[in-house]
Amino acid sequence: MRPAALLLAIVLAACGADDEAAPPRPSTTTTAAAAEVAPTTTTPPLPALPPAVAAPDPRALVTAAGVVVPVAGTDPGGLRVRTPCGNTAVVAGGTPLFGATVVLDPGHGGAEPGALGENGLREADLDLAVAQRTADRLTAAGATVVLTRTRDLRVTLTTRALLATRLQARAFVSVHHNADPDGRSDRPGTEVWHRVDDPASRRLAGLVQEEVAGAFASYEGVAWEADRDAGAKARRRSRGDDYYGVLRDAGVPAVISEALYLSNPPEAALLARPDGQQAEADALARAIARFLTTDDPGSGFVDAYPRPEAAGPGGGATGCVDPPLS
């Protein structure tokens, strides 16, 4: 097993060290309104991707309980870390991480399940399933991949972003799925948010938009829904910086991918299917690989419509309870 694959295996397998095991990947669900047959396409292998450049000191830690946390420094008792809820703790043991090519961030988790499909599909579970599938593809191509969570766990936006920054990731992709569209659409309503003042983040967003929207467009017979400004875009808050905290705090090229609408039953049915999840994961992996190995500019850029109200309260530390770390 290559070093990069071994690292990911450690990160993913460690989640079984705690009594709260990772939930199974969402099961297959179909309805007459969903695409009945997956497109018959062959997924080509990704180009060779670079492993992480290892830092001299640990940048993150997979604790004995399987929780991935950023390292803030050393302590006589172990490593001083930032907990999922944003507190400080000293942890002994575990597996240190010295860098990452890519950090994948499965959105939501724990007491913040995200959107919920009529078929019972929870966004938090779907985000994790797609991120795991994406990590599998990238790791097989040689990249060092770290997930911000490997089970159903609440993690603050600040801690998620800090993991990417500390690991010096070349790309940070927060995996989400949407709800409450503006209305019907003749194409998939995928949207990708990028950091407002970072050209690299903008290029990554254009590639993710191009690949993910294209992958789902190959499914026929789905009654798509979308926002009127679907595409790759950015949004500023009143202070002039990024509207979304996980992008604002990330110190690396970073995007949020919002693929399809769980609130639309045909799309939720497609996303519950293994082939639908794999199509999205393959698209994310292709986009990240293109970002790392080419100068492709991406496409699908649009101007986001104004949103004067603040982002929702999710992702903060209020009410957050840290899991056992050891």
| 68-81 pLDDT tens trace | 999 999 999 999 99
Instruction: Give the whole-angstrom CA distance, residue 246 versus residue 149.
Output: 14
Residue 40 is predicted with a pLDDT of 60
How large a percentage of the chain has pLDDT more than 70?
A: 88
From 2.60.40.2240, 3.40.980.10, 3.40.630.40, 3.40.50.2300, which CATH number describes the 99-293 domain? Answer: 3.40.630.40
Distances (CA, A) of 186 to 214, 220, 225, 307: 13, 11, 8, 24
User: Has residue 5 got a pLDDT over 70?
Assistant: no
Instruction: Give the whole-angstrom CA distance, residue 124 versus residue 214.
Output: 23
| 204-222 pLDDT tens trace | 999 999 999 999 999 999 9
Is residue 5 a contact partner of residue 141, using CB atoms and an 8 Å limit?
A: no
Provide the pLDDT confidence category of residue 254 given band limits of 50, 70 and 90.
very high
Instruction: Give the whole-angstrom CA distance, residue 245 versus residue 311.
Output: 9
Instruction: Give the whole-angstrom CA distance, residue 148 versus residue 138.
Output: 16
- Of 205, 200, 221, 45, give the one whose Cα is nearest residue 213: 205
Q: What is the mean pLDDT of residues 102-121?
A: 97
Residue 316: Cβ-neighbour burial (10 angstroms; 0-12, 13-18, 19+): middle
Is residue 160 a contact partner of residue 198, using CB atoms and an 8 Å limit?
A: no
How large a percentage of the chain has pLDDT more than 90?
A: 83
Residue 15 is predicted with a pLDDT of 43
Pick 326 or 289 by higher pLDDT: 289
Is residue 269 a contact partner of residue 263, using CB atoms and an 8 Å limit?
A: no
Pick 14 or 35 by higher pLDDT: 35
Provide the pLDDT confidence category of residue 312 given band limits of 50, 70 and 90.
confident
Provide the pLDDT confidence category of residue 235 given band limits of 50, 70 and 90.
very high
| 19-47 pLDDT tens trace | 344 444 554 344 434 555 667 667 889 99
| 257-311 pLDDT tens trace | 999 999 999 999 999 999 999 999 999 999 999 999 999 999 999 999 988 888 8
Ramachandran class of 240: left when φ > 0, alpha when ψ lies in -120 to 50, beta otherwise: left
